[in-house]
Amino acid sequence: MKKRRLFRRILVANRGEIACRVIATARRLGIGTVAVYSAADRDARHVTLADQAVCIGPPPSRDSYLAGARILEACRATRADAIHPGYGFLAENEQFARQVLAAGLAFIGPGPEAIAAMGDKIASKRLAAAAGVSTIPGWNDAIDSPEEAVRIARDIGYPVMIKASAGGGGKGLRVAASDREVADGFVSCRNEARASFGDDRVFIEKFVEQPRHIEIQVLGDAHGHCVWLGERECSIQRRHQKVLEEAPSPFLHEATRRAMGEQAVALARAVGYQSAGTVEFVVGRDQDFYFLEMNTRLQVEHPVTECTTGIDLVEQMIRVAAGEPLGLAQADVRRRGWAIECRINAEDPFRNFLPSTGRLVKFRPPVATMAAAQPVPEDGGVRIDTGVEEGGEIPLHYDSMIAKLIVQGHDRGDAIRRMRAALNEFVIRGISSNIAFQAALLAHPRFVAGDFSTGFIAEAWPRGFTPAELPGDDPDFALALAAAVEHRALRGGRERRTPGRRAPAPWTDYVIVVRGEEGARSEHAVRVEDGDGALAVAINGRSHQLRLLSPLRDIALHGECDGEPFCAQVERVGPEYRIAHNGLVVRACVLTPRTAELYALMPHKSPPDLSRFLLAPMPGLLVEVAVRPGQKVLAGERLAVIEAMKMENVLLAARDGVVARIAAGAGESLTVNQVIMEFE
């Protein structure tokens, strides 16, 4: 069959890392690219990577990335002949796909009929059942009121899952185990769904306890060919949003894997699917599996499939949209190695994962040895998919993802080791990130053993994630490293000495002071001795051999400790060293013994008491104030709701009290730490 010419120019109707990802493959295929951007993204990375760029509106998504008419106008202005929608925004919008085709352009995704069939979660479950796909028990009609939702939930039996029909990405989804949770969750789901998707229909289904969230990648073309490319394990979630994904799953039996793949292909064939798509399943502890939904687009976590199969999914989407048949059959699909992806998000894990916005003062990812749209090296490596650069802004208008960090290893243990090393090298400053949390995840014994479900994070950290929850390193390591760096920095200036003067002693004594909460402090006597290219550091009755292999100016410092390689982030901040390793951060002063005596006399300055105020923990839109002046509130009671980075964040009372005054009203845009209300 004669191949059609691939496209001359593709417009990427998206932003951030996925726009950069599509541009990478298009460039490799010799196809020109057009970026669209909002005013907030004027200097974004995807804008500079594309051959052309068009501003399509102000920062709010509804006025830019969701404005289909403006995107089509940008196509006409740049003479693009195809649109790739990425994921999110208009990627699964049936009406937009129809408009693209009506304009004589190619839509690099499935046809609008398939989007419509799978975009409605209620209708898609019926279609899946008709295609012979296992489906979960539930109420598959739209529900009109909280009272009706409670009645249905009681009939199904708790726990239940409340889901928006057009939902996705964790929005419009709640798990409820009581009448009150159903009523509250129903209202929140409808509100989120209406705001995010313009469709507030909600349904309820049985929640499978200890479930796994496992998805099958499929590819279909216009010539009747359809294959599945293995599975992705996506059970590590927080608030129903994926945090870490891997391929393959450490849980599935081969027979289960094959049955899920065959059912995914059956569903894709039933809707005439032509592109890359994902069929998501919930899998019980007994390996029974049930259809959840089909995502008619490229998934955020697609790189782990690319790494383990060697197939560029974006390229396949482009070729299928150009009319080419798939260049592979099911027998050609081979899996190699193990891949893990960590989503690096702009959020503070130590403050209940509140969004963090602002300027990326430093953004230095680990050295990449794999890249999107490039062959995977035989021995695996590290890949970074990102849409940001150092000095760029993380705006509050869009989701919180900074980058995706992907590694491939020979097996799961090797992939975990590589990911932990890569996280230690990843330097982000200016905003908070979830790197420490990802490091803790990878070190947790249950994760290492592959013993987890979608409830793992809540089970592992039931009281929330705090620095105390981080797995402990060798308690000497960070302090010994701080002493070694200080010693090397000082010795670097003492290489020359005046002739005739006695040589300095081969060792130096230090005192390391670590100051904790409420002024608590600990002191550690350290002796550092110069050796043959290494330093002997004696601390807490033990001796360590440290070899520093990076220039001290590097934040990500490589070296060896007792013969084992390490990478730790080391910075001088005022009088302290800030040492970060495996998620743990230690702040320590390295002093001479006499300076330590004087330092002990310095008083501790306590932070101001702000417990009387409810402060905005992030910039965002105040969408609800749930209390009034003079009202008594109890600890845990709902006080206000802030919308930021496309998610609703509920602020709860930390303790019992009485509201004295309300300082901000619903609809007001808040800055971080702005006073919302005051208590008596």
Task: Report which residue type is found at 225.
Answer: H
**Count of all residues that appear for the chain in the document:** 680
> In whole angstroms, what separates CA 133 from the centre of its chain?
30
Q: Give 621: exposed, middle or buried? Use CB within 10 Å, 0-12, 13-18, 19+.
A: middle
Quote the CA–CA distance of 317 and 113 in Å, as a whole number: 17
Quote the CA–CA distance of 158 and 175 in Å, as a whole number: 9
In this structure, the strands spanning 32-38 and 9-12 are: parallel
Paired tokens of 503? 């040589």
Q: Give 665: exposed, middle or buried? Use CB within 10 Å, 0-12, 13-18, 19+.
A: exposed
- Helix (H) or strand (E) segment spanning residue 446: helix 445-449
Full 3-state SS string of 125-189? HHHHHHCCCCECCEECCCCCCHHHHHHHHHHHCCCEEEEEEEEECCEEEEEECCHHHHHHHHHHH
Paired tokens of 52? 């052309």
Paired tokens of 373? 């749209």
Quote the CA–CA distance of 348 and 341 in Å, as a whole number: 19
CB 28 within 8 A of CB 5: no
Return all residues near 135 (Cβ < 8 A) that are at least 6 apart: 125, 128, 129, 290, 291
User: Considering 94, 181, 245, 293, which one is annotated as catalytic?
Assistant: 293
For residue 468, how many C-alpha atoms fall within 13 Å in the half-sphere facing its CB?
A: 5
- DSSP string computed for 296-321: -S--TTHHHHHHHH---HHHHHHHHH
Quote the CA–CA distance of 679 and 659 in Å, as a whole number: 4
Quote the CA–CA distance of 434 and 615 in Å, as a whole number: 22
CB 403 within 8 A of CB 388: yes
According to DSSP, the residues that pair with 53 across neighbouring strands are 35
> In whole angstroms, what separates CA 11 from the centre of its chain?
25
Task: Report which residue type is found at 145.
Answer: S
Q: Tell me the helices (H) and strands (E) count for the chain, helix number first.
A: 17, 39
Quote the CA–CA distance of 444 and 438 in Å, as a whole number: 10
Paired tokens of 27? 């460039």
Cβ atoms within 10 Å, residue 674: 17
Cα distances from 632 to residues 450, 637, 663, 676, in angstroms, run 46, 10, 17, 16
Task: Tell whether the torsion through CA atoms of 95, 278, 385 and 59 is positive or negative.
Answer: positive
Q: What's the angle, vertex CA 119, arms to CA 116 and CA 122, rounded to 5?
A: 105
CB 163 within 8 A of CB 172: yes
- DSSP symbol at 208: P
In the residue annotation, 306 being an active-site residue is answered as no
Please list the active-site residues.
293
